[in-house]
Amino acid sequence: MNKWPGLFKLATMPRSSIQRSCSRPIPGIASRPLIPVQHRSMATSTSKSNSKDNVSAGLYTAALLFGMLGLSYAAVPLYRLFCASTGYSGTVQTDRSKFAPDRLVPQAHAPRRIRVTFESNTSDALPWSFKPELRELFVVPGETALTFYKAKSKAKDDVVGIATYNVTPYRAGAYFNKIQCFCFEEQRLSPGEDVDMPVFFFIDPDFLDDPYMKDVTTITLGYTLFNANKAPHLAPVAPSQPAAMPSS
Amino acid sequence: MGFGRPSNTESTSGSPPLLGSFPLDHEGECKEFMKTYMQCLRDNKNNNGACRELSKAYLQCRMDKGLMDKDDMSNLGYADIMKPAKN
């Protein structure tokens, strides 16, 4: 019941909830929240605290933004470190222990020989004919094997080619180790020259212990030759004399 | 890049070879060794185990002619067919 109608602006709350919100009803005084007396100062302080809240929220957002930006820059070297140490997703592990002599032992307990087939592709911009000398080779894990690709230049002048390779099935790629081949470095052929390009490789003995490799009977090595002249930032290496060999 | 695949699946391959690249045999100095090796493989139904002596001979030719870094054959996986006298 409203005993002081002019003095207080009553909150339009249902009486039952008002009574619940008061801890102890004081007899004789309307048990209603006392909003009006402090109404104006609360309004000012509300707007002040609102703007303070806004500023702090803005600062938090800005901090978050710069934090995320910094993280995305830091992610590049961090990810590189992570990949190099764990070899995740095919990162090159420059680990010479993979090629230690005790790993290059033909595994006599292998159930069967693995068939390695060879494919070749040439870019249209490269006027060479490029074919594998051998279509397939049967090897045992740990046994080093040698195969050849034949390339013949049909151009009128010197052409520099560069090769990349891939191994299928992808999951077997981790076990396919090349000791020496002709990929990733520029190879120069004079007009009409034909040359044999060897590939010396082996399949890691751990291949036999991997359950995912149980059904792998054929591994395909594919080489693709590109024209290095079309890549302007590549400079062809000087023609190698027999005495001067590139060492890597 | 595939997400959710087991980590043993390679998404990219193309790691460089251990000893780098073979210099091209422009003069065909070791062509004879290559021909003998190829013939052996054709006779043996492309079985690598049968022709390892000849592939070793080819690599030896390359080393002799300066087309390959000299290395001990046992480091190249031929320890099992090295003659006992060489050890």
pLDDT, residue A73, reads 93
**ipTM of predicted complex:** 0.79
Under an 8 A CB cutoff, do B75 and A101 touch?
yes
What range does the domain containing B41 cover? 31-75
Chain B residues close to A202, C-beta within 8 Å: 77
B24 and chain A in contact, CB less than 8 A: yes
What range does the domain containing A103 cover? 86-230
Shortest Cα distance, chain A CAs vs residue B36, angstroms: 13
Under an 8 A CB cutoff, do A143 and B48 touch?
yes
Using the predicted structure, report yes or no on whether residue A180 has a pLDDT greater than 80: yes
pLDDT, residue A72, reads 93
Chain B residues close to A88, C-beta within 8 Å: 7
- Answer yes or no: is B69 within a domain: yes
Tell me, rounded to whole angstroms, the distance of Cα A238 from its chain centroid.
Answer: 34
**What confidence tier does A234 reach under pLDDT thresholds 50, 70, 90?**
low
- Answer yes or no: is B85 within a domain: no
pLDDT, residue A206, reads 85
- Answer yes or no: is B46 within a domain: yes
Q: What are the structure tokens assigned to A29, written together?
A: 């005084």
Under an 8 A CB cutoff, do A196 and B55 touch?
no
- Answer yes or no: is B21 within a domain: no
- Answer yes or no: is A121 within a domain: yes
- Answer yes or no: is A54 within a domain: no
The dihedral sign for the CA sequence B54, A99, A117, B20: negative
CB B38 within 8 A of CB A133: yes
For chain A, give the DSSP string. --S-TTT-PPP---HHHHHHHSSSPPTTS--S---STTHHHHHHHHHHHHHHHHHHHHHHHHHHHHHHHHHHHHHHHHHHHHHHHH-GGG-----GGGG-GGGSS--TT-SSPEEEEEEEEE-TT--EEEEES-SEEEE-TT--EEEEEEEEE-SSS-EEEEEEEEEESGGGGGGEEEEEBS-SS-EEE-TT-EEEEEEEEEE-GGGGG-GGGTT--EEEEEEEEEEGGGSTT--PPPPPPSS-----
pLDDT, residue A63, reads 97
- Answer yes or no: is A35 within a domain: no
Overall domain count for chain B: 1
- Answer yes or no: is A59 within a domain: no
Domain containing residue A132: CATH number: 2.60.370.10
Residues 42-81 of B with CB under 8 A from A: 45-49, 52, 55, 58-59, 65-69, 74-80
Q: What mean pLDDT is predicted for residues B29-58?
A: 88
Chain A residues close to B49, C-beta within 8 Å: 106, 113, 138-140, 143
Of B11, B34, B76, nearest to A144 by CB-CB distance is B76
- Answer yes or no: is A212 within a domain: yes
Using the predicted structure, report yes or no on whether residue A87 has a pLDDT greater than 50: yes
Q: What mean pLDDT is predicted for residues A152-162?
A: 85
Under an 8 A CB cutoff, do B76 and A179 touch?
yes
- Answer yes or no: is A130 within a domain: yes
**What confidence tier does A248 reach under pLDDT thresholds 50, 70, 90?**
very low
Overall domain count for chain A: 1
Q: What is the pLDDT of residues B14-31, one digit of tens each?
A: 566 777 777 887 787 888
Shortest Cα distance, chain B CAs vs residue A179, angstroms: 5
Using the predicted structure, report yes or no on whether residue A42 has a pLDDT greater than 90: no
Q: What mean pLDDT is predicted for residues A15-42?
A: 58
Q: What is the pTM of this model?
A: 0.62
- Answer yes or no: is A76 within a domain: no
